Amino acid sequence: MTTIGLLVCDTFTDDLRAKYKCDYEDLFIDALLDVDKDLSFVAYHVYRGILPSSVQECDGWLITGSKAGVYEQLPWMQTLEAFLKEAYEADAPIIGVCFGHQILAHSLGGKVEKSEKGWGLGLQSYELLEPIAGLEGVMDLYAIHQDQVVRLPDEARVFAKTDHCPNAGLRYKKRAVSFQPHPEFSREMETDLIMRNKGGIISTVQADQALESLEVKPAQGREIMSFMVDFIRG
């Protein structure tokens, strides 16, 4: 059985935890088990300073999202970055999502900033520069972020982009890949995250536009989850 180590970088707010009866790691566990039942998981709450004792402790690593910014360089982030560098050099499979995408890039020499372009929200259609997960041309996934990778690590190349987010998907020379959008999100989760911030940190106009995008077509999260399993198994 393949064991995936979940490097959990945040916790849901009380209202989301109460509604969904889950937390960050559970979204990934449920979505990954939906495509392959022969998986086990260990969750490490790295935002609380809990990390694996070894980069070989699991068969591969998946870094979750977070409300925090990589540039805050909190102590737990620095510890996580050291772990990711070691795992990368050891050729361990690594997958990053949203904040995970950003901190992996930062740990390997890239740069992350709050984008001057503002929020990336709703269903985004990413131009694929190379096929992934059986998809060619376009990858449709939910997004909610302000921060972006603005300078690539030397080890990385872009495989997915939009005009708003030109470094949305990265592949690395060794066994690492990352996604700015959220393949683990359902439409309901994306809707709730937009609605709870509408009229606050997200303008009403932008929130409404993002909500409209959710009605256009389904996201391709399941395809990406299947890819993740294959990627970790090598």
Residue with tokens 């299947």: 226
Which residue in 98, 145, 190, 223 is the catalytic one?
98
The reply to whether 98 belongs to the active site is yes
The reply to whether 184 belongs to the active site is yes
Which residue in 9, 101, 184, 190 is the catalytic one?
184
Which residue in 45, 101, 145, 182 is the catalytic one?
182
Beta bridge pairs of residue 140: 125
**Separation between Cα atoms, residue 79 and residue 226, nearest integer Å:** 29
- Active-site residue list: 98, 182, 184
